[in-house]
Structure 1
Amino acid sequence: MQIGAHALVFTGKFDESGIRLAIEKTREAGFDIIEIPLMNPYDFDRELAARLLRENGIEATASLGLSETTDLTSHDSAIAAAGEALLNECLDIVHTMGGHRLCGVIYSAMRKYMSPVDEAGLASSAAAIRRLAGRAADLGIHLSLEVVNRYETNVMNTARQGLAFLDRVGHDNVSLHLDTYHMNIEESDQTSPVLDAGTALGYVHIGESHRGYLGSGTVDFDGFFRGLTRIGYDGPVVFESFSSSVVSAELSNALGIWRNLWQDSDDLAAHANRFIRDKLRSARSVDMH
C-alpha cells in the first residue's frame, strides 16, 4: 500500500517552482506518492514533473474535477466531447509522468447541480468513461471515480450509487474512489461503504470532517481503516486537506474554504503521514486478536 499527499497541501501554484516545491515537500514528509491536481492540463509542464519525480524517488497520481464547459453529463454534445478531450490530455500527462492512476470527479462537473441527473446524462458520461478506460488501459493507467457529496455532483454521492454507475460503464479498468470527508457527509458510517465497494475500491482520500488535522474532527477513522483491512485493500491512500493560506482564492471559493484550520503545511503533512500509518498498523493488529 502506498501512502501519499495531495499537492494542494503544499502549494496552489503549479508553475516550475510550485511543482518542485510540492514534490520535494512530499518526499520530505515521508510519503510514497504525490497526487497532482491537473487544474490546467494544457499548461502543465509534464516533462518537468516527470524529471522531478524521478530525482526525488516519488511516484505520482493525478486528479481533477470537470467544469460546466467539460461536463460529460451535459446534453450538449460539444461540451461532453470537450470533457472527453480534456481527459485524454490528462491521460497523456499521467503517462509522461510515469503514473498509473487518474482519479477525481472525472464523470461530471464538480459543482452544485440544481436538479437530479437524468438518464441521458448518465448514459453520456458512462459511454465516455468506457471509451477513456479502454485507452487508459493501453497506457497502463487505471481510472478511479470519486464519490463526492451532494454539493459537488448529482451522479454519485454514496458508494452504492458509485457501484451502480460502474455497472453502467462495464469496464474492469474503472474503480471507485472513496473519500472520508465526503463519506462523513453522505454515508451512514465509515465501514459499510468500504465493505460494499470491496474489490471495486481503487483509490482512497483521507480527509477530516473539517479538512484540518486528522483526528481533530468527527470522522471515524478506526472504522474506515478496519474496513480497508477487511477487504484487503492495497491501493493508494492519499491525504487531502485545503487551506486558503496555500491554495488560490478561486479554488478556495469553489471548495468553500472560508476559514483556515492550519498554516504550517510541513507540520500538517508530517502529522498526516504518521496518523495514517499508525491507523493502518492498528487496524491490521485486530486480525491478530
Structure 2
Amino acid sequence: MTAQTTENPIGVHALVWVGDTSPSSLTYAIEKTKATGFDLLELSLHDSVNLDVEAAREELEAAGLGVACSRGLAFDADVSSEDVAVVERGEKLLQDSLAATNRLGGTHFTGALYSALGKYDRPLSDAGRRNVVAVLRRLAQEARRRGMTLGIEICNRYETNVINTAHDALVLADDIGEDNVLIHLDTYHMNIEEDDLVRPVHEVGDRLGYVHIGENHRGYLGSGHLDFTSFFHALADIGYRGPITFESFSSAVVMAGLSNDLAIWRNLWSDGEDLARHARGFIAGHLAAGQDRR
C-alpha cells in the first residue's frame, strides 16, 4: 500500500467494518483499515464493555495505525439532564471512555459528549446546560492531564437538543472555558443544519480539531448531493491539519441497538471494503486538490 501523501491523517470509522468491539471484530477492523490504506481507525465506545484495550493497542501499534475514540450517551446517562443521578452516570461513562482512549494510545476523544443520542421532545433547559458545561469542564481538565483533546461533535436536531450548528458549539466551548476543547464538524449533520459547508469551517477556524466526512445519505462519497469540493477548499483555507475520518453506516453491519438509535433503516452498501477503498481515494483526491489550490 502506498504511503500517506496528504498532510492530514485519513481515518475510517470501525462501524464500516464491524458492529462491536470484541477482540475478533477489532482484529478484523484493524486488518481491513490497514489493507485499505487508512492512517487512523476511529472506535465508537458504545460497546466498550467488550473492548480488550491492551490487546487492541498492541494490534494498532503493530499495524502502524493511529486511533481516535468517540461516543454518545443514553437517556439514562445524559449529562444534559436535570436529574443528578442521571448526570453522574453520564459523567462516569465519559471519564471511563476518556481513560480507555488514553490507554489505547489515542489523543482525540470526541462525539456527542454532551447529551443522549436521540430525539428530544423539548428544548434544553438552563439547568441542563449548566450540567453539560460543568461535566465537560471537568472532563477537559482530566483530558489535559492526560495530554488529550476533547471534540464537540455537532449533531442534527433529531439526535440532540444541545448544539446543532458550529456557532452553537463555539458558544458551548467558550462557556466550558478549556483550550483543549475543540470543534468536530461532520458533513452529514452540517447538510441538515448549516446554510452551507463553507461558512462554518471559516467560523470555527483554528478551533477545528476533528472532521467526519459522510454523504447526505451516509452512502458512497460523491453519490449524493454534498458540495465536497467547497468543503475541502474551506479546510485548505484555514490550514486544517487534523484527522479526517470517513463515517458511514449499514444495518447489515451495525448492531441492532445502535442501528435503531442512528435510524439506519436501509442499506446503501453491503461491501465495506469497496466502500472504504473508494472513500480513501475520494478524500485523498480532494485534499490534494486543496493543497494544489494553496
Tell me, in whole angstroms, the C-alpha distance in 2 between the residues paired with 1:259 and 1:86.
30
SS at match of 1:274: helix
SS at match of 2:201: helix
| CA offset digits 1:86-129 (Å, max 9, x no partner) | 11111111111111010000111111111111211111101110
Tell me, in whole angstroms, the C-alpha distance in 2 between the residues paired with 1:203 and 1:77.
30
Aligned match for 2:280, one of 273, 276, 281: 273
8 Å CA contact 1:41, 1:86 repeated in 2? no
* Amino acid corresponding to residue 202 of structure 2 in structure 1: L
* Amino acid corresponding to residue 225 of structure 1 in structure 2: F
Aligned match for 1:203, one of 196, 206, 210: 210
Runs of 4+ deviating beyond 3 Å:
none
Q: What TM-score, normalized by structure 1, do the two folds share?
A: 0.98
Match of 2:167 in 1: 160
Tell me, in whole angstroms, the C-alpha distance in 1 between the residues paired with 2:155 and 2:261.
14
* Amino acid corresponding to residue 153 of structure 2 in structure 1: E
8 Å CA contact 2:21, 2:50 repeated in 1? no
8 Å CA contact 2:153, 2:186 repeated in 1? yes
Query: What residue ranges of structure 1 are gaps of 5+ in the alignment?
Result: none
- 1:164-175 equivalence runs, <5 A: 164-175=171-182
Tell me, in whole angstroms, the C-alpha distance in 2 between the residues paired with 1:201 and 1:70.
27
Please provide the CA RMSD for this pair.
0.9
SS at match of 1:243: coil
8 Å CA contact 2:20, 2:47 repeated in 1? no
Tell me, in whole angstroms, the C-alpha distance in 2 between the residues paired with 1:72 and 1:13.
24
Tell me, in whole angstroms, the C-alpha distance in 1 between the residues paired with 2:135 and 2:120.
20
SS at match of 1:39: helix
| CA offset digits 1:167-203 (Å, max 9, x no partner) | 1101101011100000011111000000000111110
Tell me, in whole angstroms, the C-alpha distance in 2 between the residues paired with 1:169 and 1:92.
20
Tell me, in whole angstroms, the C-alpha distance in 1 between the residues paired with 2:161 and 2:66.
32
Match of 2:220 in 1: 213
SS at match of 2:56: helix
- 1:88-167 equivalence runs, <5 A: 88-167=95-174
Q: What TM-score, normalized by structure 2, do the two folds share?
A: 0.96
8 Å CA contact 1:71, 1:83 repeated in 2? yes
8 Å CA contact 1:183, 1:190 repeated in 2? yes
**Cα distance, 1:43 vs structure 2:** 3.5
Tell me, in whole angstroms, the C-alpha distance in 2 between the residues paired with 1:98 and 1:84.
21
Match of 2:291 in 1: 284
**Cα distance, 1:14 vs structure 2:** 1.5
**Cα distance, 1:41 vs structure 2:** 2.5
**Cα distance, 1:140 vs structure 2:** 1.4
Tell me, in whole angstroms, the C-alpha distance in 2 between the residues paired with 1:42 and 1:12.
13
- 1:1-289 equivalence runs, <5 A: 1-287=8-294
SS at match of 2:210: strand
8 Å CA contact 1:214, 1:275 repeated in 2? yes
Tell me, in whole angstroms, the C-alpha distance in 2 between the residues paired with 1:28 and 1:36.
17
SS at match of 1:106: coil
SS at match of 1:144: strand
| CA offset digits 1:70-93 (Å, max 9, x no partner) | 111110111111111111111111
Corresponding pairs, count? 287
Q: Which moved more, 1:39-48 or 1:172-181?
A: 39-48
Query: What residue ranges of structure 2 are gaps of 5+ in the alignment?
Result: 1-7
8 Å CA contact 1:42, 1:89 repeated in 2? no
SS at match of 1:40: helix
| CA offset digits 1:151-180 (Å, max 9, x no partner) | 000011100111111111011010111000
* Amino acid corresponding to residue 176 of structure 2 in structure 1: V
Q: Which moved more, 1:42-51 or 1:119-128?
A: 42-51
Identity %: 49
Tell me, in whole angstroms, the C-alpha distance in 2 between the residues paired with 1:118 and 1:232.
36
8 Å CA contact 2:53, 2:103 repeated in 1? yes
* Amino acid corresponding to residue 246 of structure 1 in structure 2: V
8 Å CA contact 1:175, 1:201 repeated in 2? yes
* Amino acid corresponding to residue 55 of structure 2 in structure 1: L
